[in-house]
Structure 1
Amino acid sequence: MGKEHQENKRVIHNSQQKVSEKSAALMCAQSQVKEVEEENSQLQLHVKKLNEEYRSRLVCYLQDLAEYIDGHNKTPPEGTKLRAFVDSMLQDVKSSYRVREEQLSSAARSYKKRLQKITKTHHALLIAYRVQREQILATPDGGLDPGPPEAHFSLDTSELRDEIEKELQHLRQDKARLEGQLQVARQQVGLEKERVLLLTRATVAEAQVLELQDYIDNHLGRYKQEITHLRRLHGIEDAAGRSQSDQSSFH
């Protein structure tokens, strides 16, 4: 019996440890998703600043171009020099935009892959956590803490871009609400069972009391009858004794 108790304690400890590990992993995944979201926000802010910088540079180029045109004559050699200057300026702008576009595209692809990987990991952990939690809830007498519902570790609705993900989130929230109602119902069922058990015990006890009362009444009646019978016998014997005594004195 002691060995079995130790084995049960070990199983409970291992299950509790697994739940704790899954909870920690879920929190870590949520933190990673938030970090990626923050990184994406920073990239978008950086793109905005770069656009402003490039617009400013373009304005400077146009100003330089205007000053160049105003400060020189429009002779053919100068016109050739002007076309070369304008072509160089446009090429510089195009190259800068192309480089930044490639960098941002690469960063966006990397971000998307990381987000998909983290989301898949998060979903896998949620599934494992749900299975583990349902196993614990299936054995309420095991003494294990099932932990909060899986919706507690789900991403915020604002962080979910896909409609399916949002619908899944709503389903998880509904599931958590139904689990709470089920827990309350189980408690009510347990209280009802306890009430029925107490009523049954009270009925049995009442029947036993009535049975004992009948037993006592029957035996008391018998005792009274025996006492009365003994008293009568004792009275007859006394009368017979007095009669014999009277006859002896007469003779």
Structure 2
Amino acid sequence: MIPNEADLGRWREQLAQVSPRHDHLSYLWLRWEPGDPWQPVERWVIWQMLPETITHNPKHPYYLAILAELNGPHPRSTGRYDAEEQRWVHGPCRLIDLGTWETFRETGRFGRRWWVIQGTKGGHRYRLSEAERVVWRTLTGTDDTPAPGDLPYAPFDNRVLDQIRGLDEKTKWLAVMSYGIKNRHQLDADEQQEVAMAKRAVANWLAGQMEEVYEEYGSLLKRATADFAPTRLDPKVEASLVADYHIG
């Protein structure tokens, strides 16, 4: 049973105002994840739906293999649950799971789980990107995020919207930080300062997500970044860092 099912249409409209559907860009999609009887999830999850310019590109054969499975039979049409491995085995799909197959039928796009709604802070990233892991691992010694179900159930509300609003700016921070990590020996002093600011901005954002489950780390990060208000990066430095960096 889906909780708040009557609200789903309205919630999706609210999410679309933050991340509108676009033919050539990624967008966010909300769906209920029940999980399986042997591993229940029962959480609202926001997916990142990728554009066809990525998934249908012949230069990306990995996605073409995924599309073949998305257009193929139900992932549970054959096979069985393996209690030892705690997953479905010997089915027709090797690259996707049931949720990915179902989401494709809802949207016509291949998607990835991006945000888990649970706890009291509006949720958190489903899995950290490499750039996010660098920051979180440096500060806490771990790159784990809470698993779906680790925190109490929460509905989609303004706390979620507050967390994910301004994704363009957050993506820019990650782009600058990633570029700085890859080119750390080639940056001048101004660029190094901008990369440091981007790292602190990412740390502050992660601290807000994780504080409920990592209270010690969250409080520490909030104190460390209390004097930093994320602002628009200097246009000249931003251009030099981001011009050739692509966020996929």
- Work out whether the TM-score is over 0.5: no
Q: Which structure is richer in relative contact order (CA contacts within 8 A, separation 6 or more)?
A: 1
Max radius of gyration: which structure? 1
- Scaled by the length of structure 1, the TM-score of the pair is 0.20
TM-score by length of 2: 0.20
* Higher share in strand: 2
Higher helix share: 1
